Structure formats: C-alpha cells, structure tokens
Amino acid sequence: MNLSKIFISKDVSHTDTVKIICENFSHIPKDIIDDTKTMFQFITNSEDPVAEGKRILFLTKNNGTFIRKCPGTRSYICCGYQIIHIGTFCTMDCSYCILQAYFHPPILQLFVNTNKLFTDLKHIVENRIPGMQRLGTGEFTDSLIWENMTSISEKLVSFFSTQNHAVLELKTKTTNIENIIHLTHNRKTILAWSVNTPKIIKSEERRTSSLEARLKAAATCEAKGFPLAFHFDPIVNYDGCEQEYETVIDNIFNHVSPENVVWISLGTFRFMPQLKTVIQKRFTNSTIIYGEQFPGLDEKIRYFKPLRIKIYKRLIDRIKKWSPHVCVYFCMENEEVWMKTLKFVPNDNGGLPHILDKRAQQICGIQL
C-alpha cells in the first residue's frame, strides 16, 4: 500500500490491531480523530479525490453488521451471496470500478473490531442457520489487498476450515496468496480471481496483476488443495473481444483442472449513470463508456441485450468445451438472457442460490 496518511478513530486507537498496523507503517503520518470531517476535507480538497482516497487509510470500527446480503439489483437474478464487510475501497485503480461513485468520498477503510465479526460468523455456522451459507469479502473491496497489514484472511480461512456447511470465497485481482496457501482449509475456502483480456487489464485495470500472474497464483492455490472460481466481470465489448475472451478461457484451463473449478460467472460491463463522469475525468483515454449502451431495468447503463447474448454464447460454448459440467452463471441478468444462452432459467432448478449451493456441496464437501 502506497499510503500518505493514516487516520485513526479515537475509539479504536488503543486496540492491539491498530498498534500493530501503526508499528508496521511507522513512517506514515497519523492522526487520531473524533469525527471524519477533517479527514474527508483532506481528501475532497485534492485534485483527484478518488486517487487520494487510495492513499489514505482510516482505521475504525464497524458499527453496523459485518454480514449482509448482496444488494443485487432489481429486475435481475441475484446469486444470494452474503458479504463479509471487512472494509471498503481498493488500492488498485480500475476505470469501471463502481466504488469510485458509490462512496462519497471513497477511502481505504479497515474495520478493526473483528471480534464482533467472528461472533456473527459463529452464530451462522455453530447455531446451524438452515441451509448452506456462501460468504465472501470481495464486494466492497478486494479480498487480498489487506494482507500486509492484517491477518483477517488467515483468520477467516482457519475459521471456515473447522465447519462443514458454509464456504468462504476470496475474490481478488492480486497474487497476494503467500499468507494463506499453507493454511489448513478443509476445502471450505474458494480462491477466486476476476479475469479479463490482457488488453482490458492493460488499459482499464491500473496496478492489478497481469492475467498470467493471476492464473499462476490460481495454479499454486490448486496445488495446495484450494477449490477455485473465476469471474468474467466486466466483459467489455470491443472489436475482436470474443476471440480474446476465448483465449482467456483457454489459458485458465491450461493452468488449472476443470474439475476443481467451483463456478465461473459472466457479467457484461454495466454502470450507474453517475460513474460516466468519473471515468471521463479520471480515465481520459478510456472508451468503455461509449458504444451500444442503454438504460436497463435497474437504470444502470448496459449493452444492448442481443449483443450481450451474442458474447455470452461464445464464451459459454468455449467453457463447456473444456468442462461440460462446470457451473456457469450470470451476474445480474434476466430470465430471457438465461434461456437464450444456457437454455434454462434458475427458477426451473430451485433458483440460482440453490444451484450454487449444490455446486459448493459437490466440490467443497459441504454437509447439510
């Protein structure tokens, strides 16, 4: 992390976690604060508040719930994923990142009162809340950017390894696996990578690991017994993109075994209207916000539906050639897209959450 300043909420300044982080980043200026006004003013006065927010760390307490349902989006099918809310924002800088417009202002925020998190997790897995549980940390931040300052991922992997009816998914664009690959995991942690074509990684995903590096990390994790997942999201339309995404699929299965892939998700580029201005200002050479894009049922801007279906069909055909039985699903698509590409709708098979639960049972050894 290329930090320029650390702000510390006064009510957590005495905690062991904060003390350890401050010792590890002893060269970074620090302020203990009673409220966030000074911190936010510091960021918003910057010429690029988003970029500045990636260099400001706020150590604080999560006063809400650590575990929450994925917000999904209305009118589209949701996977029923549960978010473990460990912190917010990201040190990487992807042009399409919704967090640039979601938080006001965006800032690296790490919650240090993790005792409450594990109390909540114990309620889920020890009190046996009915049904299987799929949880992960990669919704409001990248799961593995925090590895040089906190052991949260290690603690989560170890915790999930002790039970048999919930899975943890860690999503990343990094290769920060050193702290977790030697842990006992009992196949209850899925290591997942967001993937894209080298062209999009180079032009739109600043400070992320290369595709080759991500896939090598995935192969290393598979060698240590971890189940894997891959997320093509966002799929970006450009001349020749379908062939390049097919090459990405080939590269995935040249690195890892098809039978160890729990699921692969597909989702084309979509964005809130307010993100367009951010991209235009911060990524002046980006062209991803232009093209055949229209407001969807959830008012997000999306590619024209026939175009989405055309791309999905090509990618699904390629995936199925490598692994006929791998679970492929869509992130936020409607029933028409499902039927025209995968030839079924999730409700015909108990709903998308049930489909994913069943797949996790098969690959991760979940017992209900």
Here the CATH number for the domain that contains residue 140 is 3.80.30.30
Q: Which amino acid is at 189?
A: T
Q: DSSP string of 42-82?
A: HHHTSSSHHHHHTTEEEEE---S-SEEE----TTS-----E
**Total domains, the chain:** 1
Tens-digit pLDDT profile for residues 327-341: 999 999 999 999 999
Is 20 among the domain residues?
A: no
Q: Does the residue 41 lie in any domain?
A: no
Residue 57 lies in a domain: no
Amino acid of residue 256: V
Global pTM reads 0.96
pLDDT per residue over 7-29, tens digit each?
Answer: 999 999 999 999 999 999 999 99
Q: What is the pLDDT of residues 160-178, one digit of tens each?
A: 999 988 999 999 999 999 9
Q: Classify residue 38: in a domain, yes or no.
A: no
Is 119 within 8 Å of 84 (Cβ atoms)? no
Q: Are 172 and 147 in contact (CB under 8 A)?
A: no
Structural domain for 191, as ranges: 65-85+115-364
Has residue 37 been placed in a domain?
no
The amino acid present at 336, given as its one-letter code, is E
Judge whether 285 lies within some domain: yes
Residue of 188 and 297 predicted with greater confidence: 188
Q: pLDDT (tens digit, 9 = 90+) per residue, 186-237?
A: 999 999 999 999 999 999 999 999 999 999 999 999 999 999 999 999 999 9
Give a yes or no: residue 356 inside a domain: yes
Asked if residue 36 belongs to a domain, the reply is no
Neighbouring C-beta atoms of residue 41, cutoff 10 Å? 10
Strand order in the sheet with 301-303: 270-271, 301-303, 293-295
